[in-house]
Structure formats: structure tokens, C-alpha cells
Structure 1
Amino acid sequence: MVDLVFPVRGGSVPTDHAYPLYGALSGAVPAFHDAQQSLRFAPLTGVRDEAGRLRLAPWSRLRVRLPAEAIPNVLPLAGRALDIAGARVALGAPSVEALVPAPALESWLVTFKHGEEPAAFLAATRARLTELGVAGEPAVRAFESGPRAGEVRRRVVRVSGAAIVGYALLVSGLTAEESIRLQECGLGGRTKIGCGFFLPAREAK
């Protein structure tokens, strides 16, 4: 598995844009909608504002995780303009990045059925990690500064009008093999719309 990383240009998109982005990507490349295809993506990067918008910046990217042999299927996205919840976003020419093992990984949002409360969420996380053969230690991410410092990062993604609740997750104490496996497999539900997508953890987020 590798990451195909597209530069993104545009104004702003809703902060909760995972499902509209999935629809736009599926319209351009139907393989995104195919459950048999191992295509996953992370939500766009940018700067969050107080109005529930994500402002795209010169460093904004769309990251698609896929088998190396599937890269040609996704290349039609290069130079493509997408409509994401009424916002026009243009994709540039992509670069290919190998997955990098890291002792700690994080995901912006992981969801489990009946995992709306932190204790139930962590129990489901540990069970799934065990199934994957990953012995890392999960922890729900908390806000590190601002008026909500110390509060857990409970997040919601809306799919066809339904609110799906989950949490920002950190998994630490990983071996190199476990780290790559977790990045390749993802975790939890709604992985086709960007949930459970792991990247090497930053010290603060």
C-alpha cells in the first residue's frame, strides 16, 4: 500500500466534508464506491475556522491510500475540479509516498457501532486491535489548548443526514510491523469515507 497525495486548491469546504468528498471522488473515479476496491482517503487538510469551515491553504492535500498497482485507476483525478458541498476544489498532479512506520499513529476520527461513549469506544478499539494482531495502546485524543483543553475530541461525521459519533484516536507503543499493518487496514467503521485513516502522530494537534 502507498499514499497518492494530491495538492488541493480552492477557497473553503465544510469542516465536516468527508461524505461530500466521498461522493465527489466516487463520481470522478467509480472505484471509490466499489467495496471490493482497497481505496481509502483522508479528509482534506487546511485551517479550521469558527464558522465550521476548513480554509484550504497552499499546503492542503488530499491523501488517497491504495495498492501501488491501483495508482493508474486514480490518476484521472489529477487536474480535476470537484464539487464538495457546493465548494469548487481543484486537484493538482499527485506524488507517491510510501507508508512510514512510526511508534505512534493517530486518526482524526474512528467510529464503532455502540461506541459513542469513551469507555465503550476504547473497549471496541482494544478488541479490534487484538484481532489485527496490534499490541499498541489506544488513547482518546484530548484538546491540548484553548477553552476545551483536556476535553476528549468527540467528533461527528454526517452521512446522508445521520450523525455518526466517534473520537480522535492515538495508538502508541507500536512496532514497525504493527504500525504499517494498522495504516494499511484502518480501524472501525466508515473507512470508505475517511474514518479510521492513520498517520504518524504529531506531538500536538
Structure 2
Amino acid sequence: MRMYNPEWEAIKEFNYQASMAEVQFDLAGLEIPEDHGYALYQELCRLLPWLAETADAGVQSVHGAPSGRNANLVINRRVKLVLRVPVDRVQAVEALVGQTIDPGAGPITIGALKVRQLMPSHTLYAHFADFGTADEAEFLARAKAELEAMGIQCGLMCGKKRHLSTPEGQLEGYSLMLHDLTLLQSMQVIERGLGRHRAYGCGIFVPHKSIKEVVAH
């Protein structure tokens, strides 16, 4: 039996017209490089040229289990491709269904899609945020400054160090958790993101379990 969470009721009553939507695609293939952000984005732009001109669009990192060879991740039926796009572009991304891409570890076929409404949360998490620095203190300072420029004050927790390769050089940053957000603030962050390179999977936030649960463990 699932325990009641008072936040669920607050979310049900929260009225917000989102300008962005999340589109989730099934994938069929064997593996994808662990460091795939840049190559994946280039493959998607080949199929959706307008993606490169859509500043707010983001491509989430593909999450899978390590294959144990060649720094690749295994693709199984739970592994998804997730794009965050303006609501008026949702229909346009349907063109990806049935297409084949190769971000560097063999062909991957893009399958059926689901459109998911973006949901607020008092706690958000980004797998990788990039603020142009590998220094943890400076990273947090820049994240805080960007939030304050949006009129948001909240708690920040820096996590694991991350990196991503591009032709211009390696991007370095950290995973990042934000907590004690209002529901409206969380939607602002979810829709806008933080830092640089949303196209490569950076600065894209998703709802996370309570910060109290994280600290407790």
C-alpha cells in the first residue's frame, strides 16, 4: 500500500499552463555510448533540422546499465529517449518514430512515443548541470546566481562530477539537486532549465523524492 503524501493534493490543485512538454520514445538497439550527449543531439538534428533553432528544447541523457565494455550503456525496453520541447512542436517530433540513428555504438531505432505533462515538485534533480566550471564552489555560486536572477531562492545540493565530450572540448559539471521550491518555482526551472547545453542533456530537471528521504539515506 502506498503512503499518502500531502504534496500530491497540492499538485492536483496546482493550476499551471505549461509551455513545454516531455515526449518519451521507445528505443530498439544494443548499446549507446555513455558519453553520448553531443552525438545524440547531432543525429536528432539530422532528422529534425528545426531542433537546432529551438533554444528551449532539451534532450535528456539516455540512462542505461553499463555494458562492461567500451564505456557503453545497454539499451533494453526500459531505456527511453526523452525530449523536452515547446508544446507547439510536439506533433513535429512524431517524425522521429521509425527512424534509425547511430550516436556511436551501432544503430538504434526510435519507436512509439508518449507525451507526458510536466509535473511540479518541491525537489528537483538534474543528472548533469554545466555552468562552465569544474570547481564545485564556483559551480554552486553560479547556479545560485542564475536562480536568484529568476527570483528563486532554494536549497542546492551538488552531487557527482560529470563530463561530456564535444568537438570544442570537454564540458565539466556536476549533478544538482534543488529543494524547498514552491510548485510555481519548480515549473519555472523545469521549463527553462539551468546553465548551458540543454541540447546535450545538461541542466534538465526532473521531479525527485523528498530531500528528507535523500538525507536519511
Q: TM-score, structure 1 length as denominator?
A: 0.88
Unaligned runs of 5+ in 2: 1-19
Q: How does 1:1-205 map to 2 (within 5 A)?
A: 1-34=20-53, 36-51=54-69, 52-113=71-132, 115-141=133-159, 153-160=160-167, 162-202=169-209
Q: Which amino acid aligns with 2:186?
A: S
Q: Which residue of 1 aligns with 2:11?
A: none
Structure 1 stretches of 4+ moved >4 Å: none
More helix by share: 2
- CA deviations 1:110-147 (Å, max 9, x no partner) are 1112x211101000010011112222211112xxxxxx
Unaligned runs of 5+ in 1: 142-152
> How many residue pairs get matched?
191
Cα separation, 2, equivalents of 1:132 and 1:55: 38
Cα separation, 2, equivalents of 1:130 and 1:172: 14
Cα separation, 1, equivalents of 2:188 and 2:197: 18
**Contact residue 5 and residue 64 of structure 1 kept, 8 A:** yes
**Contact residue 47 and residue 57 of structure 1 kept, 8 A:** no
Q: CA deviation at 1:48?
A: 2.5
Q: CA deviation at 1:19?
A: 0.5
- CA deviations 1:89-124 (Å, max 9, x no partner) are 1111211100111111111111112x2111010000
**Contact residue 57 and residue 198 of structure 2 kept, 8 A:** no
Q: Which amino acid aligns with 1:41?
A: V
For 1:84, what is the secondary structure of its paired residue? Answer: coil
- Percent identity between matched residues is 27
**Contact residue 31 and residue 105 of structure 2 kept, 8 A:** no
**Contact residue 8 and residue 90 of structure 1 kept, 8 A:** yes
Larger Rg: 2
